Amino acid sequence: DIQMTQSPSSLSASVGDRVTITCRASQSISSYLNWYQQKPGKAPKLLIYAASSLQSGVPSRFSGSGSGTDFTLTISSLQPEDFATYSCHQSYSTPWTFGQGTKVEIK
């Protein structure tokens, strides 16, 4: 199985901050990397697919980059509605696997 490791596990930030979350794969997954946002009690929502493609309807302050084993999700200016947990997901090979999640909290 491909292991996905996110860092940090949690972070505290203020509205307007630039936030970066990292996801590392245990082997190369090319650009088969997706990012989801999850709020408490809700289902995950797709933000970014194929490492850097913004899902329709997602604000442009979200961006993704990387390929191979190292990926980042960046929120350019954190908004109140962005406080949530973010998870990466590899679809390079089954079993598809997720990172453990990064919780973004209000500072």
**Interface contacts to other proteins, rule CB under 8 A:** 1, 31-32, 34, 36, 42-46, 49-50, 53, 55, 87, 89, 91, 94-101
Between residues 3 and 77, which has the closer beta carbon with respect to other proteins?
Answer: 3
Tell the smallest beta-carbon distance from residue 43 to other proteins (Å): 4
CB 24 within 8 A of CB 69: yes
How far is residue 1's CA from residue 17's CA, in Å, rounded to a whole number? Answer: 35
Tell the smallest beta-carbon distance from residue 66 to other proteins (Å): 13
Tell the smallest beta-carbon distance from residue 46 to other proteins (Å): 6
How far is residue 83's CA from residue 49's CA, in Å, rounded to a whole number? Answer: 20
Between residues 79 and 91, which has the closer beta carbon with respect to other proteins?
Answer: 91
Tell the smallest beta-carbon distance from residue 100 to other proteins (Å): 4
* DSSP 8-state secondary structure symbol assigned to residue 41: T
How far is residue 50's CA from residue 30's CA, in Å, rounded to a whole number? Answer: 9
How far is residue 12's CA from residue 107's CA, in Å, rounded to a whole number? Answer: 5
